[in-house]
Amino acid sequence: MVSSALIWETEAWNDLKAHVEEIKKTHLRDLMSDPDRRRSMMVEFDGMLLDYSHQLATVETFEKLFKLAEEAHLKEKVNSMFSGEPLRAPRDAVIQCDGKNVVPEVWNVLDKIHDFSEKVHSGSSVGATGKTLTDVVSIGFGGSYLGPLLVHTAFQTARILSHDFSFQAILPYSQALEKFASHIQ
């Protein structure tokens, strides 16, 4: 049975948090001087060597992380995700944040995204010129365009391939004019 407790309210979280405060007092140089620790912090998987020995962590740290994953039912959640179960909370779920149920707000935004997407896909959403939208521009600074790019890439379907998507971290004015000059009257 999956617990409804918030992860930071669990015993495993508090145990790990206390451990982190203790290990912060340790210098990595001291940990690296122990050859047994170095060997125990390396794992070979699928032809790759995963070397955790250069992290400010010990075998105990990983034991506490595994305990936290167990208490959070991470394995069950990963299995659910890969079996196709929905990841979203249902509309009638209650998830409290600062004493407020945030689920209705999340679903309100998801509904708006869905409605807008359907209008763009169907061609019923038009721009200022009255023409069907054909270009989507996401302008972001410092990587803020990565979320929309991820969503576009993840949910790319044949019915929206006729649209031109452009993702720019910083779009200089000259590039914007060049890209959209034919659309500006």
SS3 155: coil
Helix (H) or strand (E) holding 96: strand 96-97
Write out the two tokens for 77.
């959640």
- Three-class secondary structure assignment of 38-71: HHHCEEEECCEEEECCCCCCCHHHHHHHHHHHHH
How far is 40 from 161, CA to CA, in rounded Å?
A: 49
Q: Are 9 and 58 in contact (CB under 8 A)?
A: no
Going by C-alpha positions, the residue among 162, 111, 114, 173 that lies closest to residue 136 is: 162
- What's residue 1's pLDDT? 45
pLDDT at 47: 87
Structure tokens at 169: 């971290």
Q: Supply the pLDDT for residue 96.
A: 82
Determine contact, residues 89/107, Cβ cutoff 8 Å: no
The pTM of this model reads 0.52
Splitting the chain (185 residues) into consecutive groups of 10 residues, what average pLDDT does each group show? 70 96 95 93 89 93 95 89 78 87 88 80 82 69 59 55 58 57 56
User: What would the two tokens of residue 172 be?
Assistant: 């200089």
The pLDDT of residue 158 is: 45
